[in-house]
Amino acid sequence: MANVIDGKSVAAALRLRVAAAAAGFSARVGRPPGLDVVLVGDDPASQVYVRNKGRACEEAGMRSTIHRLPVDVTQEALLSLLDGLMVDERVDGVLVQLPLPKHLDEQAVTDRVVPEKDVDGFHPSNVGALWLGREGLVPCTPWGCMRLLDEAGVKLEGARAVVIGRSNIVGKPMAALLLRRSATVVVAHSRTKDLPALCASADVLVAAVGRAKMLGADWVKPGAAVIDVGINRTAEGKLVGDVDYDAVVGHAGAITPVPGGVGPMTIACLLENTVRAAWRRAGLPKGELTI
Ligand code: NAP
């Protein structure tokens, strides 16, 4: 039976450490770390995500402001709001909730967030820093996956890791992080041949696809660590991952459930990134930030 990695409790512990760091920041700088979230339109899922991010910030003793813009906002108005946030000293982190309505240029918008405040880690400068092994802000979901692997004591050095999915927000940064830890990484995608056999060769398997229960028992090597990033809703309205959990839990070495695995880590890592960004912007000594 696999070690079921409890993302909820790992995230709760991380949030406590972030709160302690945020309190330390506030005491030294005279204001709390601040996150500004920009939400365009009224997509119900985005509304929920943004509300949860705001609430989590406040619980960690951080300031959070949500900027709600109408669905037909112009590109100029959105960029002008972002430009104002970039020069506002109290703003440490800025994120634009995606996806944006079709008439907006997503790339131009995310590029407008300066790397120092880019708590999503999407700016080309942060992406470059990640691949170059330099300091920068790392995308929250894959960073959370790394924390879960470490928490479960999974050995990464020399391990064969397969990441399914090559998106800029999950698959690619996940591969970079695993490589940084000396895993041997293969990135699979929709054109990959013999995917089940490839996956069954992995010591560490990360699924970030978006297809309910795609990975069955024969996709998983006995004893492998399985990180399930997928969030899918079944016809019955149930949340499930990309992994057929019931089929795999019996012989994986470690596995994250859905819900309660990777999901809670994403927000906790967003808070962590915001405190890291604040710390760096304030010029506080790096060694004194322990999260
Ligand atoms: P995405 O941009 O749609 O990327 C999906 C990736 O899966 C693509 O690279 C695609 O390949 C690949 N793929 C699709 N069908 C495949 C197949 N049959 N076999 C192999 N690969 C296949 O999605 P994403 O944004 O990375 O998100 C992935 C999943 O993670 C979604 O369920 C999303 O909801 C979830 N997610 C969860 C969190 C969290 O906090 N837990 C955060 C972000 C995302 P191609 O590149 O060839 O098209």
List where CATH 3.40.50.720 sits in the chain.
140-263
Q: Which of 36, 92, 118, 120 is catalytic?
A: 120
Output the CA 167–ligand 1 centroid distance in Å. Answer: 6
pLDDT of residue 65: 98
Q: Are strands 204-207 and 225-228 parallel, antiparallel or unpaired?
A: parallel
pLDDT of residue 33: 98
Summarize pLDDT for 255-275 with one digit per residue, the tens: 999 999 999 999 999 999 999
pLDDT of residue 286: 95
Scan for tokens 């894959």, then name that residue.
Answer: 142
Cα 256-261-265 angle, rounded to 5 deg: 135
List where CATH 3.40.50.10860 sits in the chain.
29-114
Average pLDDT over residues 85-111: 97
Output the CA 211–ligand 1 centroid distance in Å. Answer: 8
145: Cβ below 6 Å to ligand 1? Answer: no
88 noted as active-site residue: no
Give the phi and the psi of residue 27 in degrees, each rounded to 5: -65, -35
Output the CA 1–ligand 1 centroid distance in Å. Answer: 27
Summarize pLDDT for 168-220 with one digit per residue, the tens: 999 999 999 999 999 999 999 999 999 999 999 999 999 999 999 999 999 99
169: Cβ below 6 Å to ligand 1? Answer: yes
- SS3 state of residue 83: helix
35: Cβ below 6 Å to ligand 1? Answer: no
Q: Which CATH class is domain 29-114?
A: alpha beta
Question: How far are the Cα atoms of 42, 188, 197, 204, 243 from residue 193, in angstroms, in the given order?
Answer: 39, 9, 9, 19, 19
Given ligand 1 and candidates 49, 110, 189, 262, which is best to mutate, with the most ligand atoms within 8 Å of its CB?
189
Is the overall model pTM greater than 0.95, yes or no?
Answer: yes
pLDDT of residue 255: 98
CATH H-level superfamily of 140-263: NAD(P)-binding Rossmann-like Domain (3.40.50.720)
**Contact status, residue 113 vs residue 94, Cβ threshold 8 Å:** yes
Please report, for the chain, how many H helices and E strands are present, in that order.
10, 11
Rounded Cα distance, 29 and 282, in Å: 8
Output the CA 145–ligand 1 centroid distance in Å. Answer: 15
47 noted as active-site residue: no
Given ligand 1 and candidates 48, 49, 190, 214, which is best to mutate, with the most ligand atoms within 8 Å of its CB?
190
Residues 6+ apart with CB under 8 A from 127: 121, 168, 172, 173
Confidence of residue 7 (pLDDT cuts 50, 70, 90): very high
Summarize pLDDT for 31-40 with one digit per residue, the tens: 999 999 999 9
248: Cβ below 6 Å to ligand 1? Answer: no
Given ligand 1 and candidates 140, 141, 209, which is best to mutate, with the most ligand atoms within 8 Å of its CB?
209
